[in-house]
Structure 1
């Protein structure tokens, strides 16, 4: 009886561990996603419809890749037009 209590405690603590998540190696990097617009489009749609199945790691990388494709690398400064706009 005395030997079984520590064993049961160890089993209970092991069962309360972190839930399994997709491995980081299985998830493409932001650079890979930004380089492949077709894959990015498919994954964006899947993240919209089924984020729970895909996971936050992948959907956050998809969002970051979309942002990078939209804004670029950020090295281009804003230049104002020489003539003011005519309304």
Structure 2
């Protein structure tokens, strides 16, 4: 029993091959747009969001994180607008 456990451990680790590295900007030398550029171009942002949903390992985490940040920035805005509560409280 003492000899079989290390053997099973070695067999399990050997069976696990090296994972493929994602293709990102450091590997492909592609230019990654900034968050501001993505937020300014909603059509390109929409395309990249769809690609990140369907094939994130191919695009890489860097660009998908920037796409998510640009989407959040477009949704929330610059947060310069202060909160103004309604004059009358709602009746439940």
Normalising by the residue count of structure 1, what TM-score does the alignment of the two structures yield?
0.71
Question: Does 2:33 align with 1:28?
Answer: yes
Aligned pair count? Answer: 69
- Per the TM alignment, residue 22 of structure 1 is displaced from its structure 2 partner at its CA by 1.1
- Give the structure 2 partner of residue 39 of structure 1: 44
- Give the structure 1 partner of residue 79 of structure 2: 74
- Per the TM alignment, residue 84 of structure 1 is displaced from its structure 2 partner at its CA by 1.4
- Per the TM alignment, residue 75 of structure 1 is displaced from its structure 2 partner at its CA by 1.3
Unaligned runs of 5+ in 2: 1-20
Which ranges of 4 or more aligned residues in structure 1 deviate by more than 2 Å?
none
Normalising by the residue count of structure 2, what TM-score does the alignment of the two structures yield?
0.67
RMSD of aligned C-alpha atoms?
1.8
| SS of equivalent to 1:70 | helix
Unaligned runs of 5+ in 1: 1-18
Equivalent residues of 2:35, 2:67 under 8 A apart: yes
- Per the TM alignment, residue 25 of structure 1 is displaced from its structure 2 partner at its CA by 6.1
| SS of equivalent to 1:73 | coil
